Amino acid sequence: MITLEYIDIFDESKKKELIFSKHLLNSKFNEKSLFSIIVDGKSMQPVINDRAVVVADLSQKELVGEKIYLVYYGEKMWIKKYDEKKEIFFSINPDFSHLIYKKDEVYLVAKVLITFTNL
């Protein structure tokens, strides 16, 4: 089992724990580099919902295929999908199609491994 803490900004900034089986992670990961964070926004819906908790791996900074990553841009952390051909990060939700960042404009923070909703 893996236990990660996160701050729930929607619940009086309470510190909470996320406990889940290692077997839920379908890709390689570095357990010491895992962290969880709560999503604030709808730009990745329907794949990642507002207020979902995502688990990401800080050790995975290589862009592989069209996966979802946490990137730092404009003094904010964003969750975006990577388009390998265009070398851009973009929002899945068409209502946020204006949120596009070039690969060389962002700092790659981590690869998103799994998302939990309705916690």
Name the one residue in this structure whose structure tokens are 């990577």.
82
User: Mean pLDDT of all residues in the chain?
Assistant: 92
Q: CA 108 to CA 51: how far, in whole Å?
A: 22
pLDDT at 118 over 80: no
pLDDT at 116: 92
76-84, long-range: CB < 8 A, 24+ apart: 77/37, 77/109, 78/43, 78/106, 79/39, 79/43, 79/44, 79/48, 79/54, 79/112, 80/43, 80/44, 81/44, 81/47
pLDDT at 119: 61
Go through the domains of the chain in sequence order and give each one's CATH number. 2-116 (2.10.109.10)
Q: CA 4 to CA 103: how far, in whole Å?
A: 29
Tell me the pLDDT tens digit for each residue of 29-87.
999 999 999 999 999 999 999 999 999 999 998 898 889 999 999 999 999 999 999 99
pLDDT at 42: 95
